[in-house]
Structure 1
Amino acid sequence: MNRPAPPPRPRLRTRLAFLHAGLAFGCGVLLLAFVDLPLISAGQTARVPGGGDLTGGQPAGPAAGGRATGNLAEVLRYSAIALVLIAAVAIVLGWAIAGRALRPLQVITAAARSMSADNLDGRLRVPAAYREFGELADTLDGLIHRLHGSFSAQRQFIANASHELRTPLTVQRTLLQLTLADPDAGPGALRAACRDVLDLGQQQERLINALLTLAGGYQPIERWERFDLADLVRTAVLEHRAEAERREIEVRTALGPAVVTGDPRLAAILVTNLIDNAVRHNHPHGVIDVATTAPGRLTVANSGAVIPPAEIDRLFEPFQRLGTDRTDQTEGHGLGLAIVAAVAEAHHAPLSARSRPEGGLELTIDFPPAHPATPGYAADDRRR
């Protein structure tokens, strides 16, 4: 059974106008009460001709031969008329005052309605005299600015992802078309074309997996668990040791106990991407220093090309590379550090990066320390 919808509430301007009228009417009642009550209690009367004057020494009354009459009814009648006039004037003035006070809110509402996802570069301007509404407008401007940056980053992300996925598809189609158009293509040429198509498919698969990992890193952690960060680092170093030796890179570790809380799966992805980034963007005979220290600090430093400090923040954005052409897939898709930043943010772990004077990058991530409770606990318990 559907409940009837509640009646709509009056507009704020109407409520303010009636509130102003009610306050003025109440003050008028109090004022007239202070004026009329003494007259009522004293029973003030006036002498008529033939019975003395209002200030004579003889008492006024029937015994003095005069007739007394009271003006209390007239006073009350004028008081009632005054109250009605006060109420009417208060409503009119209250309506005007409320409209003037709410005018900046109307300006903000009109400006907000004119904005859209493609038009978020405007500002909500209100007169300087309305300081409170000015603070509200500044707060909304900050929110709109953040939304504008988020929408712009989203559009750029979609464009970059489309480009990264379209390139191998175009190469696959061209390769197959050339192979099929060659009437002299033998089994060897067909096998080579199939191997190239498989390699391109693996690149697409790695890109899709990276995109899924990046999307998962942006999600909040539902359940926090205790784990030793040193164990994850040790496993990631062993997985990349062969590639590091092939590139003649020395990996040095100093793994102290670092029991932290978070999502072990996401933390393992973060560590893997850090080590992989340090191996990829290094030079022959380079070094990688990996350290874990209590209560939950992870530090990864690698040698390599000199990175301008102004370029560091850009490296943590999706599909961004340093000095590498977009079409070159040998150094990955530019998602490694973006995944690291997303996972660190999901763990509420501060991340800092600095370029080394001799070349390379040093990253430090501070995971939240271990909770003293059981190995697993819900996020709601952690917040409490």
Structure 2
Amino acid sequence: MRVRLTALYSALFTISGAVLLTITYWLMRRSKWVIIVYDDSGPEIREHLERLRAAQLRALLTQFGFAFAVMVAISIALGWLVAGRVLRPLRTMTATIQQISARNVHERLAATGPRDEMKDLADTVDGLLGRLETALNAHKRFVANAAHELRTPLTLERALLEEILTDREAGLESYRATSERLLALSKDQGRLLEALLTLASSERGLDRQEPFDLSDLARQALDSAHLEADARGVRIDTRIAPAPSAGDPALAGRLVANLVDNAVHHNVTGGRIEVATGFRAGRAFVSVANTGPAIPPQQVGRLFEPFQRLGERTARSDGHHGLGLSIVRAIATAHGAAITAHALPDGGLSVEICFPTTAAPGDPHMPDTPQPHGLHTSATSSPGHRPNHPDR
């Protein structure tokens, strides 16, 4: 880069200097001399003066050429110095960036000086390093938590196997009971690995764009969740309206299913869930609100981090691994959707996700859906309301 800048500076000076000297020489040749002759030897004097003028022009041309060559050499030297000074901040940034690794990604260029292209570049690199630091820290936490979640059931499986192998009086019933516990642990690990794969695939972004309707996905999720809702005595209210969007239908379906599953699982006996889909302000939305234990408002954002749970329940006791809402966030981000979540005053959580819609603006067939009434209103649905009944 320094060589190219030096060549550019020198070329500009050479061209401009050559043009200037050419114009100067051309003007000198066109200038007229005034000769006054007072005796009879006028023609000889005129010829002598013409020869003198030609000699002076040749000397001037030689001097111009010498001066031009000297200035070209000087311009090359000055161009090299100026290019080095211009590129000095870039070399400093390059050396600093080369020293940054995963161990010191917290370091920044912190460039000072006037607001120019170099300062903008340094600030852009600092922003990139900040995002990388955040991603690396999240990756470290995720790996540590995942290793912990997988280590516990593996340790338990080993303990169960050692227990049954060292018990010489163990009979068929003991082997059967141990096998059933091992099978349950295996299923739980399978669900964990499936959740981890879904989370990883969501964070990579979308591989395809296909149309889907959030209302259809919500009905499917409610169909799958009604058995657990019935068992817990949880009442489901639905306000399902068309909500067309586009993206990966499988991932979007997982998002809605995780929202509903989270609302059912983290509820109270005899509690309520409200599921709504529709079209508002030019975007398709799905919202799920549920009663449940009180959630500190400052802890709501933490629920969307991997392996984060509130309360004392663990993956070994409730079969959930704290990945549901983190998968929801990853899928929403991949679809360019906005998430709004807040804790309800009487306990529970309300989550609304707005997707880009495929409906044309002002489409008369897509009127804005009214806001859900909320969990504080009276309900007319029965516990475990099946979503294939008429929506209300």
Q: TM-score range by the shorter chain?
A: 0.7 to 0.9
Name the counterpart of 2:29: 40
| C-alpha contact (below 8 Å) 2:110/2:126 kept by paired residues | no
Structure-to-structure mapping, 1:15-94, within 5 angstroms? 15-42=4-31, 62-64=43-45, 67-68=48-49, 69-70=52-53, 71-94=56-79
Q: Which runs of 5+ in 2 are unaligned?
A: 361-392
Name the counterpart of 1:280: 265
Q: CA deviation at 1:299?
A: 0.8
Name the counterpart of 2:213: 228
Question: What secondary structure is seen at the aligned counterpart in 1 of 2:210?
Answer: strand
Any idea what the Cα deviations from partners look like across 1:56-109, whole Å, max 9, x if unmatched?
756985435984323111111111111011101111111111100110000011
Picking from 303, 324, 346, the partner of 2:291 is 303
| C-alpha contact (below 8 Å) 2:217/2:253 kept by paired residues | yes
Any idea what the Cα deviations from partners look like across 1:306-346, whole Å, max 9, x if unmatched?
22222222211111112235564415100100111112122
Q: TM-score, normalised to structure 2's length?
A: 0.84
Picking from 346, 353, 368, the partner of 2:334 is 346
Q: CA deviation at 1:180?
A: 1.1
Q: Which amino acid counterpart does residue 162 of structure 1 have in structure 2?
A: A
2: distance between equivalents of 1:103 and 1:324? 57
| C-alpha contact (below 8 Å) 2:111/2:123 kept by paired residues | no
Name the counterpart of 1:255: 240
Any idea what the Cα deviations from partners look like across 1:215-250, whole Å, max 9, x if unmatched?
232243333333332222122212212211221211
Q: Which amino acid counterpart does residue 82 of structure 2 have in structure 1?
A: I
Structure-to-structure mapping, 1:51-200, within 5 angstroms? 62-64=43-45, 67-68=48-49, 69-70=52-53, 71-129=56-114, 131-200=116-185
- Compared CA separation, residues 116 and 66, structure 1 to 2 (3 A): closer
Name the counterpart of 2:3: 14
Question: What secondary structure is seen at the aligned counterpart in 2 of 1:96?
Answer: helix
Output the aligned Cα RMSD.
Answer: 2.3
- Compared CA separation, residues 61 and 362, structure 1 to 2 (3 A): farther
Q: Which amino acid counterpart does residue 63 of structure 1 have in structure 2?
A: E
2: distance between equivalents of 1:141 and 1:309? 32
Q: Which amino acid counterpart does residue 276 of structure 2 have in structure 1?
A: A
Name the counterpart of 1:330: 318
Picking from 360, 364, 372, the partner of 2:348 is 360
1: distance between equivalents of 2:47 and 2:353? 104
- Compared CA separation, residues 297 and 125, structure 1 to 2 (3 A): closer
1:204 aligns with 2:192: no
- Compared CA separation, residues 314 and 59, structure 1 to 2 (3 A): farther
Name the counterpart of 2:250: 265
Aligned positions, number: 353
Q: CA deviation at 1:117?
A: 2.4
2: distance between equivalents of 1:355 and 1:173? 40
Q: Which amino acid counterpart does residue 255 of structure 1 have in structure 2?
A: I
Q: State the identity as a percent.
A: 42
| C-alpha contact (below 8 Å) 2:315/2:321 kept by paired residues | no
Any idea what the Cα deviations from partners look like across 1:19-77, whole Å, max 9, x if unmatched?
212222223223323332232234769xxxxxxxx887569854359843231111111
Picking from 300, 303, 314, the partner of 1:315 is 303
Q: Which runs of 5+ in 1 are unaligned?
A: 1-11, 46-53, 373-384
1:242 aligns with 2:227: yes
Query: Greater relative contact order: 1 or 2 (C-alpha under 8 angstroms, separation 6 or more)?
Result: 2
Picking from 210, 217, 221, the partner of 2:202 is 217
- Compared CA separation, residues 179 and 74, structure 1 to 2 (3 A): same
Question: What secondary structure is seen at the aligned counterpart in 2 of 1:223?
Answer: coil
| C-alpha contact (below 8 Å) 1:261/1:371 kept by paired residues | no
| C-alpha contact (below 8 Å) 1:261/1:369 kept by paired residues | yes
Question: What secondary structure is seen at the aligned counterpart in 2 of 1:102?
Answer: helix
Q: Which amino acid counterpart does residue 210 of structure 1 have in structure 2?
A: A
